[in-house]
Amino acid sequence: MITIAVVLASTRPGRRGQAVAEWVMKHAAQRADARFELVDLADFHLPDLDEPVPPAAGRYTHDHTRTWARTVAGYDGFLFVTPEYNHSAPGKLKNALDRVHAEWHDKAAGFVSYGIDGGVRAVEALRPVLGALRIADVSAQVALSMQHDFTGFTDFTPGEHQAARLATTLDQLVAWSTALATLRTPA
């Protein structure tokens, strides 16, 4: 069975992403086609890229990078729960993506984003980055509006239609993660 990391990308104090990630995990736990595990970037000490050799070389010198590399390598796919900051993704997520290289290859990703306009610009900023890392991103996504899916811009109260969008996103992510696993398995 494949394993998908639900990556909580926001590390800000008072972040809204924790509630969103818990909602994702609640729905994902009802599925029998994959295992889902929460990976909170706040739990990883990932300073600005500090490796002396480019990550594509795979020669990681710092323990925090090797720990992150093992974490990424252990998953078949990723569901990024990301806010939109200034029309893009959080720097902490970009740094986590840039820190390792081959560990991302031939895996799939999906998105649950949130922000004033649903976080869609963060996702669009991430798609070419994922392509460069050989991560296939699925087309379905959940875009949560701070105006409509959060009461008073703080309490997460997703519209009923968002559960169906999440199910479609997870369907695509599981299918692609399963298909891409064949590329990572020796013949």
Is the Cα torsion angle 91, 93, 98, 100 positive or negative in sign? positive
Write the pLDDT tens digit of every residue in 163-176.
Answer: 999 999 999 999 99
The phi and psi torsions of 145 (rounded to 5 degrees) equal: -90, 130
**For residues 148-171, b (16+ Cβ closer than 10 Å) or e, as one string?**
ebbeeeeebebeeebeebbbbbbe
What does the pLDDT average to over 97-120? Answer: 97
Tell me which fold the domain 3-184 belongs to: Rossmann fold (3.40.50)
68, 100 Cβ separation under 8 angstroms: yes
Structure tokens at 152: 């008073």
Cα–Cα dist 187/183, whole Å: 9
**24: nearest Cα among 44, 41, 4:** 4
Boundaries of every domain in the chain: 3-184
Cα–Cα dist 47/128, whole Å: 23
Give yes or no for residue 49 having a pLDDT over 60: yes
Supply the pLDDT for residue 186: 67
- Of the pLDDT bands very low, low, confident and very high (cuts 50, 70, 90), residue 137 is very high
Supply the pLDDT for residue 184: 85
- What average pLDDT does the chain have? 96
Supply the pLDDT for residue 69: 97
Supply the pLDDT for residue 187: 54
